[in-house]
Chain A
């Protein structure tokens, strides 16, 4: 497979990740497709259990056991040094998870910022130590230079008083500062893709705004692509260019951000948008999505959303898997209503 254009960075093709548990097999990701271009910001939206975080873990090959990639390709268009800027296509799904190549990519070219900055930083090391560790792993520099680079990166992520903070422990910092520290670790090398998994969910609104603005600024500076995993539609609207909506391991809709918010097609996307309370819009009752997300061992047959769907067609939605339909270029939806 050759890339159509040299802008392509990553293609997820028919990714399936399963967890074989005693109670049964959980199909956490069940046929995920997604393409990310260089420098693009893509949002992956969905509720808990929809498979958005597992997709990210698959990309980094850190799916926790007993989870396994059982099918699909993770094509990474990797820039190669000294080859005239040629791209080298690597299927991340085919690499050994702890092999040299994957270790070279993980944390260096593809990096991740996690949700909970308190639990994803080591409490017994200073923030400076943790950034220097990342630099030391991937770049051959001396201690002194690593420290200088660390100071520089702390400055770039807007850490107050970098020369003092570099020797602070995570518990001495506020939530916003810790998240800046996490971003600093992620950006300490030269990533092509930053995966941000709910990076602001644990933060206060005022801090959330600062971190999001920082991420936008850094994206401009570094030119990396961002895969933004979140359930917060406000964050999606502000940060992303292209949005993929997931439900129970499947992509149900994807389109550019304006289309998702103003011309959604899938009943689930529509229902989600309608159910949100909005400041300044007064309504006595919210239009709630009925029912609960089914438990992962009992995913309904056919379209997984059919028990909660307003447009449910008996005999079709509960029997056959809906096809993926392109209603217009770049706008796809998995629903029989658009056949």
Chain B
């Protein structure tokens, strides 16, 4: 991985070791709940509720959490695949342009940004158009942006297919002729077509078989090295995230509760929710007996979250303060951020 070790400082004063590629501030995405004859807005589902983080050039940031925690929505807001309700998403596209806030972009500028950042989707069965050949699917970004056509297009698509481990001879076939793992490679080839710098990988391996997962993860790592890619890796499988991510962020009900270097997070979690998540992972070894920390109740409703810390009704360490005061994400140890009032007092169990 290429990284210049200049201690660039992002104005928030956080310690940053490398050069940032992306900075997110106060990101919010609220979906209105409309009811009744006049479709009046009766409230909001707070899918993403005030999230701040930065992503360094060349790193993989893992984003984990349970379904409905807002991790996919966060990923989509970074690409303007859905528009955020509030907040800033700034990219350092090149040294000449400096910071670009993508929510200020329109027209031609926005279209140019879309070459810079791409997405890999979860389900390789529904994310490929069954009526298009591989050439059309992988070549579409190039055609739409008028970057290649005719023979040149076929050459570029052949290169891309080869790069992800597919045979270029298959270019004229349709997606149905391929297995799940191969389809995911098609999706990856397509996301690489415009030579992006940044890719949001939304659960890229969770629909794949065990033996295909490892291949795909290795491929993503190889491509990262070759093309100096930066990844936001959204996933629910902690084993996968622990393997691929340099840093990991944990989300719960639209908020980021912890963010740290991968090893540090798994060895010394500071948020009780992270501890519960890790205790739920079943080790593939019958000799290791783990005991899952019991959690009462269900995940909070993002339309009607509890007071104070959103996790307090299920937290075994909760005290009075947690019910009233909302904790802020703060740096408790160098590069280890957590939003918990009691982070300094409690000792949590990491990976065994």
* A joins B in a complex: yes
Contact assessment for B287 and A262 in the assembled complex, using a CB-CB cutoff below 8 Å: yes
Residue pair B284, A282 in contact (C-beta under 8 Å): no
Query: Given A206-B66, A280-B266, A286-B218, does the pair A292, B284 have CB atoms closer than 8 Å?
Result: no
A48 contacts partner chain B, Cβ-Cβ < 8 Å: yes
The answer to whether A234 has its CB under 8 Å from any CB of chain B is: yes
- Give A81 to B221 CA distance when docked, in angstroms: 61
Contact check, B238 vs A205: say whether CB atoms are below 8 A apart.
yes
Let me know if B215 and A258 touch, CB within 8 A.
no
The residues of A that contact B181 with a CB separation of less than 8 Å are 292
Q: Report the Cα distance A277→B240, complex, angstroms.
A: 6
Taking CB atoms and an 8 Å cut-off, the chain A residues in 167-200 that contact chain B are: 174-176
- Best-buried of B67, B211, B217, B266 by chain A (most CB within 10 Å): B211
Alpha-carbon gap, A275 to B217, bound state (A): 10
Interface string of A39-60 (1 = CB under 8 A from B): 0000000011000000000000
* CB <8 Å contact, A204 and B67: yes
B351 located at the interface, meaning its Cβ lies under 8 Å from any Cβ of chain A in the complex: yes
Most buried by A among B66, B239, B263, B282: B282
Identify which of residues 194-247 in chain A touch chain B, using a CB-to-CB cut-off of 8 Å: 204-210, 212-213, 231-238
* B144 adjacent to chain A (CB < 8 Å): no
Q: Mostly helix, strand, loop or mixed at chain B's interface?
A: helix
Could you mark each residue 20-49 of chain B with 1 if its beta carbon is under 8 Å from any beta carbon of chain A, else 0?
A: 000000000000000000000000000000
Q: Which residues of A lie under 8 Å from residue B278 when comparing CB positions?
A: 279
Closest to A273 in B: B284
CB of A293 closer than 8 Å to a CB of B: yes
B305 close to A (CB within 8 Å): no
Q: Is B218's CB under 8 angstroms from A285's CB?
A: yes
A261 lies within 8 A of chain B by Cβ: yes
B152 close to A (CB within 8 Å): no
Using Cβ atoms and an 8 Å threshold, which residues of chain B touch A262? 287
Determine if A276 is an interface residue (Cβ-Cβ < 8 Å). Answer: yes
When chains A and B are docked, how far (Å) is the Cα of A275 from the Cα of B215? 9
Number of interface residues of B (CB under 8 A): 43
With both beta carbons as reference points, the residue of chain B lying nearest to A206 in the complex is identified as B280
Asked if B98 is an interface residue, CB under 8 A from chain A, the answer is no
User: Smallest distance from the beta carbon of B170 to chain A beta carbons, Å?
Assistant: 12
Judge whether B179 and A295 touch: CB under 8 Å. yes
| B residues in contact with A48, CB < 8 Å | 180, 209
Checking A238, A275, A280 against B282 with a beta-carbon cut-off of 8 angstroms, the contacting residue is: A238
A294 to chain B, nearest CB (A): 9
Check B344 for interface membership: any CB of A closer than 8 A: no
B286 touches A234 (CB 8 A): no
List A contacts of B315 (CB < 8 A). Answer: none
Residue in A closest to B238 when the chains form the complex, CB atoms: A279
Q: Is the beta-carbon distance between A292 and B239 smaller than 8 angstroms?
A: no
| Chain B window 266-305, contacts with chain A (Cβ cutoff 8 Å), 1 for yes, 0 for no | 1000000000111011111111100010010011000000
Give Cα A280 to B67, complex, Å. 23
CA A261 – CA B283 in complex, angstroms? 11
Per-position binary interface string of chain B over residues 314-346, scored 1 when its CB falls under 8 Å from any chain A CB and 0 otherwise: 000000000000000000000000000000000
Contact B287 A209 (CB under 8 A): no
* Chain A 246-276 near chain B by CB (<8 Å), digits 1 or 0: 0000000000011001100000000111011
A293 contacts which chain B residues (CB < 8 A)? 179, 209, 211-212
Do A292 and B212 touch across chains, with their CB atoms under 8 A apart? yes
Bound CA span A276–B215, Å: 10
Asked whether B209 lies within 8 Å of A279 as measured between CB atoms, the reply is no
Rounded to whole Å, the gap between the CB of B59 and the closest CB of chain A is: 15
Q: Which of B66, B214, B284, B298 contacts A286 (CB 8 A)?
A: B214
A153 and B41 alpha carbons, distance in the complex (Å): 40
CA distance A206 to B282 in the complex (A): 10
A174, A206, A212 pick with most chain B CB within 10 angstroms: A206
Q: How far is the CB of B268 from chain A (nearest CB, A)?
A: 12
Are B351 and A275 touching (Cβ within 8 A)? no
Asked whether B243 is an interface residue with its Cβ less than 8 Å from the other chain, the reply is yes
In the complex, chain B residues 41-78 whose Cβ is within 8 Å of any chain A Cβ: 66-67
- A257–B285 Cα gap in the complex (Å)? 9
Q: Which of A213, A237, A277, A284 contacts B285 (CB 8 A)?
A: A237
Residue of A nearest to B244 (CB): A277
Q: Report if A283 contacts B (CB, 8 A).
A: yes
> In angstroms, how far is the closest chain B Cβ from the Cβ of A250?
16
Contacts of B280 in A (CB 8 A): 205-206, 208-209
For the complex, is B106 an interface residue (Cβ under 8 Å from A)? no
Q: Which residue of A lies closest to B205 (CB)?
A: A277
Which residues of B are found within 8 Å of A273, using beta-carbon distances? 284
Bound Cα distance A131, B290 (Å): 33
Determine whether A287 belongs to the interface, using a CB cutoff of 8 Å to chain B. Answer: yes
Beta-carbon nearest neighbor of B181 in chain A: A292
Specify the chain B residue showing the minimal Cβ separation from A235.
B282
B292 with A233: CB separation less than 8 A = no
Give residues 105-128 of A contacting B (CB, 8 Å).
Answer: none
Interface status of B236 (Cβ within 8 A of chain A):
yes
Other 19 A-B pairs with CB < 8 A, given A174-B298, A209-B292: A48-B180, A48-B209, A204-B67, A205-B66, A205-B277, A208-B280, A209-B282, A234-B282, A234-B283, A273-B284, A275-B211, A275-B214, A276-B239, A277-B217, A286-B217, A288-B215, A289-B215, A292-B181, A293-B179
20 contacts between A and B (CB under 8 A): A47-B209, A174-B298, A174-B299, A205-B281, A206-B277, A232-B282, A233-B284, A234-B281, A237-B282, A238-B286, A276-B284, A277-B214, A277-B239, A278-B242, A280-B266, A283-B243, A285-B221, A288-B214, A292-B212, A293-B212
**Which 6 interchain pairs have the tightest Cβ spacing?**
A234-B282, A277-B243, A288-B214, A289-B211, A280-B351, A275-B214
The chain A residues found within 8 Å of chain B, CB to CB, are 47-48, 174-176, 204-210, 212-213, 231-238, 257-258, 261-262, 271-273, 275-280, 282-290, 292-293, 295, 308
